[in-house]
Chain A
Amino acid sequence: MSLHLQRVRVATTSPDTESRLVFADDFLVAVLVQLSDDHEDDAGMWFLEVGFGRLDHPMPPKFANLDEAQDWIEQRLAGNQASSTAIPAL
């Protein structure tokens, strides 16, 4: 499995528009949205706007950067539920 990101803009009805579609092979698995200055301390972080299947989460996490987001996504897709105990930046 390999992840690849596609840059898009998402209509969140907020200034949070800069986004990435996340594909695992050719499956869409998540949408990450970068938080705007509206979010003060969290500005610049990447938010799991939508996660499909194993990435669906009742408390969607935020990540400091896209590498961190991809690490988390790979662990969840690999079925490592233990990774969910160490969700960064909730």
Chain B
Amino acid sequence: MTSASDIHSKTVLVRKLESIATFSDEERQAILSLPSQTRVLKPGQDIVRDGDTPSQCCLILDGWAYRYKVLGEGRRQIFSFHIAGDIPDLQSLHLHTMDHTLATVTEATVAFIPHQSMRELTMRYPSVGAVLWRDTLVDAAIFREWMIGIGRKSAFGRIAHLFCEMYLKLESVGLASDHRCPLPMTQVDIGDALGLSNVHVNRVLQELRGKGLITLRSNTLVIHAWDEMIQASEFDPTYLHFEQRAAG
């Protein structure tokens, strides 16, 4: 028996996947009926660790998470930031050993969905499997954009690009509008994601503020000059592959 709150939790997943695909009523219902266990996690808590062999996937219902890996001397690389509707460890369904860690940025509510249930869903509804594949391909497209940033863009371009990306991702699932969105990560998080020192992150944030392009206060980002931001960061949202592209 699936409870009402259980169904609500999968609504978040349907909303996310419908930003990049469309479902029939039957497929939507099958996703909503997935069994799951909901938990509230503290900020900075590992959800699944490098080397683990999980038997469930983690759907984010509320809050932010990130993927990372730690090298010697405490060097941390953040690979991606995740928001409600994302299943950042979906790959564990087919790649059995985690090759990085998934952790919360903020306090987060997550739903754990058994691998077995995900497998049954995708076998019964191959088109849902195809949408999850599509989601994984979009994930890979985002990695390519980050690689361009880390390899070939200035600190200014990297940070402006990240802000545009996070805004559109949040907007696509109804969590942002009017160029205003939550942005709860720290300057150190941004630096570890973009290969920058927190000194350089701080300088760029001051420059973005000084030019009147953004306001960033109390974990809320407001982009005042969208066109200038996308131009300065060479941001083209094609790689996000939204089904109905957000207006931007």
Query: A residues near B, CB below 8 A?
Result: 12-14, 16, 35, 38-39, 42, 47, 58-60, 62, 84-85, 87, 90
- Point out the residues of chain A lying under 8 angstroms from B202, CB to CB: 38-39
How far is A12 from B200 in the complex, measured between Cα atoms in Å? 9
Q: Flag if A60 contacts B197 (CB, 8 Å).
A: yes
Is chain A's binding surface mostly helix, strand, loop or mixed? loop
Tell me the count of chain B residues lying within 8 A, CB to CB, of chain A: 10
Closest to A87 in B: B73
Closest-CB distance, B15 to chain A (whole angstroms): 38
Across the interface, do A16 and B203 meet the contact criterion of CB distance under 8 Å?
yes
**Chain B residues with Cβ under 8 A from A12's Cβ?**
203
A sample of 9 cross-chain residue pairs with beta-carbon separation below 8 angstroms, ordered by A number, consists of A14-B206, A39-B199, A47-B197, A59-B73, A59-B197, A60-B197, A85-B73, A87-B73, A90-B74
Shortest distance between the CB of A32 and any CB in chain B (Å): 12
Nearest opposing residue in chain B for A58, CB measure: B75
**Which residues from chain B contact A85 at a C-beta distance below 8 Å?**
73
Q: How far is the CB of A8 from chain B (nearest CB, A)?
A: 18
Chain B interface helix/strand/loop/mixed: helix
A42 to B188, CA, bound (A): 13
Residues of A within 8 A of B207 (CB): 13-14
A39 to B195, CA, bound (A): 19
Other than A14-B203, A35-B199, A60-B199, give 7 A-B pairs with Cβ distance below 8 A. Answer: A13-B207, A38-B203, A42-B199, A47-B199, A58-B195, A85-B73, A87-B73
Could you tell me the distance between the alpha carbons of A85 and B199 in the complex, rounded to whole angstroms?
Answer: 20
Contact residues in B for A87 (Cβ distance below 8 Å): 73
